Amino acid sequence: MSVTTWGWLILAFPLAGSILIGLLYRVLPAKAAGAIGTLAIAAAFACSIAALLAMLGDPAEEREYANTLYDYAGAAGIPFELGIFVDQLSIFMALVVTGVSMLIHLYSFAYMGGDAGYRRFFSYLNFFVFSMLLLVLAGNYVLLIVGWAFVGYASYALISFWYRRKTATAAGMKAFVINVIGDIGLVFAAILLIKELGVSDYTSVFEKAPEAFTTNEWTIVAICLLLMVGAFAKSAQVPFHTWLADAMEGPTPVSALIHAATMVTAGVYLIGRSYPLFNLAPTAADIAAFIGLATLLMAATIALVVTDLKRIIAFSTMSQIGYMIVGVSIGAYSAGFFHLMTHAFFKALLFMAAGSIISAMAAIQDIDRMRGFRKAMPFTCAVLICGALALAGFPGTAGFFSKDEILSFAAVRGGMYWIFAVGGYLGAILTAFYSFRIVFRVVYGEPCEEAKELEGGHIHHAAPVNPATGETEDYEVGFPAEEHHIAEREWPMKIAMSILAFGALFGGLIQIPGVTDVLGHFLEPVFESSPIASTVHVSTTDAYIGMTVGGLCSLLGIGAAFYMYMVAPGSTLRLRDRFRGVHDFLFNRWYFDELIDAAIYKPVVACGRFANDTFERVVVNGLVRGTSGGVSGAGQIVKTAQSGFVRFYALLVIGGLAAVGLYFLLVAS
């Protein structure tokens, strides 16, 4: 079969799974729904591998395949076709997405057990994977927007999964609306591309763009900035990042899949995919890189102080995506995507471990309450440490190789790009610190009550209360299921986490500088026309210098965390009291939510209120009163006269119509 046939099949399985589970929700036993969902993704993964193998049969330069199903809505010179485009980049993304999704489905199969919405969950999850695959396989910018928005919807549905919770529905709404703003950016980017070039499919756009635009011409800069709006809304970069922390209201597997491993990396994919456009607009690319750097550092500082386990990991996600954005914006394409892959492994793993711990804590997420799970949950703690090591960039782990590849590229490119290397290493220290903050607080220390209870062989249970509001809830749709599942007792969770832990520890070995270059070599033809990639070469020596620095940063951060949490516990409290202002500033996430609330949400609501209370009543209804007054006097007379008038008019028209109708009949004979 041809590569594109496999491509369509990759899309077909998750969609079919989602629809099948949705239609059969009444008759399917819960576990069957989970099995169908997981198998559908496994089938998509198998198809991705088949497509890869089919692709590898062709010479490296000819690995681009496009196929159109039908003309979706072409008219008025707007090309709009339902077509896919498969090349090394999209197949790489498809492999990462289906592979990680498969494991997360497997994890959810056990983790979500007992939840009242079990079938619904798998239907949504399959739909998400379909949307994400549509996003990466779409053959043109307009279809990309469709996948883009479907992903946004799936994310909304899953964040609001426990829809009885007001905090969850509000978080879903926030995520959705911010994503729609991103969609609008993409829509205008597509409109400008179509207006200037008359085409929307990738191949033609990239062919025509260099002829149509001069470097840094305002049009192409505007297009790239608009693409960035879309990319940053999806990838939770400043200033569109506020939704991601709230998105942690969703079930933990959702956080792992959507808000860490796949969806949020869509922005990286978009910038990487559109690199010929960004090469024509270096200004836009530089802005993107700076925003990536700003997000990287800001999120890392917030992750230092937040106490909610899932939110720490969420801010860490933002920060890590900042690295990827920096990578693909400065020209380190394959490094950026390498980091995307390794991040998917270790971040999904961290969330899975966090989910297991949260289960043991009976849905409490505050790390201040957690302590000493070492003995109670040896497996979970082991994989948590694996994930934290990779995130911290501990020498030899996956995160170590991928992060350093980006940063040494920045250093070698030189000039102002040094800033990204310096900022990146600074971020690496913070990252190492907060990742081991989690480890030292959760794994080590004197066991907390819940951990002791678990050591005694019993999982802690608590009354269902929304941790965010303290509101009493119910198990049905407002609270994780009555039974909790921890990795120690569920083989599907264990398998999924073990595989990811392996990836987090050893996934970097495919890209050891001077030794292996599997991914870089595979992706090279995609980016070969980039002037940056062809001029900047990171020598093996440079790479090892970078890795030494990175390794030291990592050890420094881990060491600092060890000192503060293990050697001198309580020192963080003193620091907090000493720098109260800084702590509050960070803890409140730099007050971004308040800023947006005051600058956008409140004014719109105020406008609506004003329109409703004042304008509608005074002006619009005043107009009616004025009009009716003008028609026939005022007051009570108006009413009677009006209704009489209306009846008369009605009779006149009916009678008149009947008369002309008759006339017509007579004449037309």
Partner 1 sequence: MLTWIVFIPVAVGLIGFLLPSRIVGWWALLGTLVSLGLAISLVAGFDSSGGLQEVVDESWIPQLGVRFQLGVDGLSLFLVLLTSLLWTATVLWSALQYPDRPRNYFFMLGLAQTATLGAFLAQDLLLFVLFFDLMLIPFYFLIGQWGTGDRVRATIKMIIYTLIGSLLMLVAAIATAVLSADSVGGLTFSIEILRQVPLPTGSQYWIFAFFSLAFLVKMPAFLVHGWVADAYKACPLPVLVLLGGVLSKVAAYGFLRIVMPLFPDAAIQFQDLLLIAGVVSILYGSAMAFTQTDVRLIVAYSSIAQMGFITIGIFSLSGSGGDGAVIQMVNHGLVVAPVFLIIAILAERSGTEDVREMGGMARNAPVLAVLFVIVAMALLAIPGSANFVGEFFILKGVFETDVAIALIASIGIALAAFYSLRMYQRTMHNREAAPGVSREIALREAVVVVPLVLCIVGLALYPGLITTRGENAVDRSLAAVNPDPQPAPEAAAAADRGWTGYAPVAEGSAP
* Span 312-371, contacts to partner 1 by CB under 8 A: none
Q: Which is nearer to partner 1, 474 or 482 (CB)?
A: 474
Shortest distance, position 25 Cβ to partner 1, whole Å: 7
Q: Which is nearer to partner 1, 120 or 494 (CB)?
A: 120
- DSSP secondary structure, 240-291, as one string: S-HHHHHGGGS-HHHHHIIIIISGGGHHHHHHHHTHHHHHH-HHHHHHHHHH
Name the nearest CA neighbour of 299 among 231, 233, 241: 241
Q: Which is nearer to partner 1, 54 or 190 (CB)?
A: 190
- What is the C-alpha end-to-end distance of the chain, expressed in Å? 67
Residues 6+ apart with CB under 8 A from 625: none
Range 20-49, binding partner 1 (CB under 8 A): 22, 25
- How far apart, in whole angstroms, are the C-alpha atoms of residue 188 and residue 376? 53
Shortest distance, position 184 Cβ to partner 1, whole Å: 5
Shortest distance, position 13 Cβ to partner 1, whole Å: 19
Q: Which is nearer to partner 1, 416 or 611 (CB)?
A: 611
Shortest distance, position 360 Cβ to partner 1, whole Å: 28
DSSP tag of 515: T
Q: Check binding of 637 to partner 1 (CB under 8 A).
A: no
Name the nearest CA neighbour of 357 among 496, 486, 492: 486
Q: Check binding of 12 to partner 1 (CB under 8 A).
A: no
Shortest distance, position 76 Cβ to partner 1, whole Å: 4
Q: How many residues bind partner 1 (CB under 8 A)?
A: 75
Range 588-607, binding partner 1 (CB under 8 A): 604-605, 607
Shortest distance, position 232 Cβ to partner 1, whole Å: 15
In whole angstroms, how far apart are CA 185 and each of 148, 189, 190, 191, 482?
Answer: 12, 6, 9, 10, 42
Q: Which is nearer to partner 1, 188 or 585 (CB)?
A: 188
Please pick, from the candidates 462, 618, 653, 662, the single residue that binds partner 1 as defined by CB under 8 A: 653
Shortest distance, position 657 Cβ to partner 1, whole Å: 7
Range 59-78, binding partner 1 (CB under 8 A): 70-78
**Considering only 48-56, 240-248, 484-492, 657-665, which stretch makes contact with partner 1 by CB under 8 A?**
657-665
- How far apart, in whole angstroms, are the C-alpha atoms of residue 303 and residue 306? 6
Shortest distance, position 179 Cβ to partner 1, whole Å: 8
Bond preceding residue 239 cis, omega within 30 of 0: yes
Q: Which is nearer to partner 1, 242 or 329 (CB)?
A: 242
Q: Which is nearer to partner 1, 515 or 667 (CB)?
A: 667
Tokens, residue 256: 């792992």
Give the 3-state secondary structure of residue 207. Answer: helix
Please pick, from the candidates 1, 416, 650, 662, the single residue that binds partner 1 as defined by CB under 8 A: 650
Range 147-206, binding partner 1 (CB under 8 A): 148-150, 153, 156-157, 160, 163-164, 166, 169, 172-173, 176-177, 180-181, 183-184, 187-188, 190-192, 194-195
Please pick, from the candidates 463, 515, 573, 668, the single residue that binds partner 1 as defined by CB under 8 A: 668
Please pick, from the candidates 80, 121, 379, 409, the single residue that binds partner 1 as defined by CB under 8 A: 80
Q: Is 76 left (phi over 0), alpha (psi -120 to 50) or beta?
A: left
- How far apart, in whole angstroms, are the C-alpha atoms of residue 122 and residue 102? 12
Q: Which is nearer to partner 1, 75 or 463 (CB)?
A: 75
Please pick, from the candidates 56, 518, 637, 654, the single residue that binds partner 1 as defined by CB under 8 A: 654
Q: Which is nearer to partner 1, 518 or 657 (CB)?
A: 657
Residue 82's φ and ψ, nearest 5 degrees, are -90, 85
Shortest distance, position 17 Cβ to partner 1, whole Å: 16
Residue 84's φ and ψ, nearest 5 degrees, are -115, 160
Shortest distance, position 16 Cβ to partner 1, whole Å: 15
Please pick, from the candidates 41, 44, 104, 142, the single residue that binds partner 1 as defined by CB under 8 A: 142
In whole angstroms, how far apart are CA 361 and each of 107, 180, 347, 391, 461?
Answer: 18, 35, 21, 24, 8
Q: Which is nearer to partner 1, 27 or 75 (CB)?
A: 75
CA angle (348, 272, 77) in 5-degree steps = 120
Tokens, residue 438: 């989690």
Q: Check binding of 145 to partner 1 (CB under 8 A).
A: yes
DSSP tag of 119: H
Q: Which is nearer to partner 1, 5 or 632 (CB)?
A: 632
Shortest distance, position 215 Cβ to partner 1, whole Å: 23
Range 407-466, binding partner 1 (CB under 8 A): none
- Number of helical H runs and strand E runs in the chain: 29, 2
Q: Which is nearer to partner 1, 172 or 331 (CB)?
A: 172
Contacts with partner 1, 456-485, as mask; x by CB under 8 A: ------------------x-xx--------
Please pick, from the candidates 218, 418, 579, 664, the single residue that binds partner 1 as defined by CB under 8 A: 664
Cα torsion 115, 116, 121, 123: sign: positive
Name the nearest CA neighbour of 10 among 98, 101, 117, 120: 98
Q: Which is nearer to partner 1, 160 or 359 (CB)?
A: 160
CA 356 distance to own-chain centroid: 22
- How far apart, in whole angstroms, are the C-alpha atoms of residue 259 and residue 9? 25
- How far apart, in whole angstroms, are the C-alpha atoms of residue 584 and residue 471? 25
Q: Which is nearer to partner 1, 240 or 275 (CB)?
A: 240
- How far apart, in whole angstroms, are the C-alpha atoms of residue 383 and residue 372? 15
Please pick, from the candidates 643, 648, 655, 662, the single residue that binds partner 1 as defined by CB under 8 A: 643
Range 534-573, binding partner 1 (CB under 8 A): none
Tokens, residue 166: 């007001």
Q: Are 162 and 43 in contact (CB under 8 A)?
A: no
Please pick, from the candidates 623, 634, 637, 662, the single residue that binds partner 1 as defined by CB under 8 A: 623
- How far apart, in whole angstroms, are the C-alpha atoms of residue 67 and residue 82? 9
Residue 70's φ and ψ, nearest 5 degrees, are -160, 165
Give the 3-state secondary structure of residue 71. Answer: strand
Sequence-ordered strand ranges (E) for 401-502: none
DSSP tag of 459: -
Shortest distance, position 165 Cβ to partner 1, whole Å: 8
Range 90-129, binding partner 1 (CB under 8 A): 120
Q: Which is nearer to partner 1, 26 or 537 (CB)?
A: 26
Name the nearest CA neighbour of 130 among 271, 21, 276: 21
